Amino acid sequence: MFFSNKNILIGVTGGIAAYKSAEIIRLFKKEGADVRVVMTESAKEFITPLTLQAVSGNAIHDSLLDVKAEAAMGHIELAKWADIILISPCTAETIAKITHGRADDLIGAILLASKADKYIAPAMNMNMWSDSSTQENYNTLLKRDIAFIGPASGEQACGDVGPGRMEEPSNIIEFIRKSFKTGPLSGKKITITAGPTREQIDPVRFISNNSSGKMGYAMADAAIEVGAIVNLISGPVSIKPNKHVNLINVNSAEEMLNKVIDSMSDSDIFIGCAAVSDFKPSDYSDIKIKKEDMDDIDIHLEKNEDILTYVASEFTTSYVVGFAAETSDVKSNAKRKLKSKDLDMIISNDVSDKSIGFDVDDNEVNVITNKETIFLKKDKKIRIAREILKIISLNIQV
């Protein structure tokens, strides 16, 4: 499920290879992606919208001004929604329009408005592909960081043999998959902590907190996407981990610290996203404490070792990132923690806001270093995680 948590927008233009778009959608869906489709009017001459709607499970988009969309601004909604945009097949006409920034159809408008990763799978006659105008457009788009997949060489519908065929669907999927595996943190080893810890009072009772682990698991997913090797040290949560991470389950803060020490022996980056218990009971009862045996109970607490501080002081060659869940003076408290714990970066958020606090899918954070503060406005946690990883990759390259 490599593309789980990914929103993929596929643009289908008017070429005979449009029939292959159904298989591309199927393969993306098989790997966990949410897929939406934009069709040009000419594309409908080669494959029906009903076919692509059935395969994708979503309504087809074909109008620049969709009255059913919020404020009739469907192109902006789709541009913000997409993580990946693939134009497949992409005709010579569409390549020319994209090159010149044309926004007179839905595909053109989305491409201009989106920050998603963009891919083009060309499909046209070999002479059209080799024409100097097409080649100039091709080279211009490469400079704009739009990736081309193909075209392949072979026999074409018109009978000519040469470059211009659209790549096969499986090759297109593999190209996009590999582009993530060779991301900016490719080969880097990252240790991430996630979720709460539990400090046992007796065999059935414990002290814990409201952390769901969603942000930490999103960080692990985002790190895998950019090519990192990930150790995910997790407290008790109910989230299914990415199969590409090395998951290490723990319960207590002490267990988490010990596993972090083991993992950090060869890690380049540490991201402390777990909500680690600051305190633990001084005395643990081996048997369940019976309420009928006492009218009240006093639990004496003692401090746990601060994992972030320990990692920053003992693993000085690693890039150390912490999270600060605050309820007041969010930025100022986070900046104090950045300095007192000697961290390279800290991510602060306001957990008093229930829409971005514990156990929800959205977040809004400040990414703080000694040089700058970057505000990431409210978005899905996986997208926030991707932005944080981008900032980390830029900082470790400085």
Give 327-353 pLDDT, tens digit per residue: 888 889 999 999 999 999 999 988 888
Average pLDDT for residues 257-262, to the nearest whole number?
Answer: 97
Asked about 90 being catalytic, the answer comes back as: no
> Which pLDDT band, with edges at 50, 70 and 90, does 72 fall under?
very low
pLDDT at 69: 58
**Greater model confidence, 330 or 155:** 330
2 pLDDT tier (thresholds 50, 70, 90): confident
Q: Is the pLDDT of residue 382 over 50?
A: yes
H-run or E-run covering 116 = none
Average pLDDT over residues 283-296: 83
Per-residue pLDDT, 99? 96
Range with the lowest mean pLDDT among 90-99, 105-114, 134-143, 182-191? 182-191
| For residues 297-303, average pLDDT | 89
Neighbours of 297 (CB within 10 A): 9
H/E element, 138 = helix 132-143
Distance CA 218, CA 240 (A): 11
Dist CA 187 CA 181 (whole Å): 9
- Residue in 157, 158, 204, 394 annotated catalytic: 158
Q: List, for residues 161-206, the tens digit of each pLDDT value.
A: 778 899 999 999 999 988 876 678 888 999 999 999 999 999 999 9
Specify the higher pLDDT residue, 254 or 396. Answer: 254
The predicted pLDDT at position 162 comes to 78
Which residue did the predictor score with more confidence, 215 or 5? 215
User: Minimum mean pLDDT among 150-159, 190-199, 365-374: which range?
Assistant: 150-159
Give 20's DSSP letter: G
Which CATH number applies to 189-397?
3.40.50.10300
Percent of the chain residues topping a pLDDT of 90:
72
Q: Is the pLDDT of residue 1 over 90?
A: no
Look at residue 63 in the predicted model and tell me its pLDDT.
Answer: 82
Instruction: Tell me the one-letter amino acid at 120.
Output: I
Which is it for the CA torsion 203, 209, 212, 216, positive or negative? Answer: negative
Rounded Cα gap, residues 201 and 208, in angstroms: 11
pLDDT score, position 244? 86
Portion of the chain with pLDDT greater than 70, in percent: 96
Please report the pLDDT score of residue 71 as a whole number. Answer: 47
Give the Cα separation of 224 and 236 in Å (integer). 21
What is the CATH topology of the domain spanning 7-181?
Rossmann fold (3.40.50)
CATH 3.40.50.1950 residue ranges of the chain are: 7-181
Q: Exposed, middle or buried by CB within 10 Å (0-12, 13-18, 19+), for 332?
A: exposed
**353 vs 52, higher pLDDT:** 52
Of residues 5, 48, 25, the one with CA closest to residue 169: 25
Model-wide pTM > 0.85: no
- The mean predicted confidence, pLDDT, of the chain is 91
**CA-based nearest residue to 217, from 258, 268, 273, 277:** 273
**pLDDT attached to residue 174:** 94
User: Highest-confidence range of 173-182, 190-199, 235-244, 297-306, by mean pLDDT?
Assistant: 190-199
The ranges of the chain annotated as CATH 3.40.50.10300 are: 189-397
Q: How would residue 39 be classed by pLDDT, with cut points 50, 70 and 90?
A: very high
Please give the Cα distance from 314 to 305 (Å, whole number): 13
Residue 146 has pLDDT above 80, yes or no: yes
Question: Strands of 7-12's sheet, edge to edge?
Answer: 34-39, 7-12, 84-90, 117-122, 147-148
pLDDT at position 247 over 90 = yes
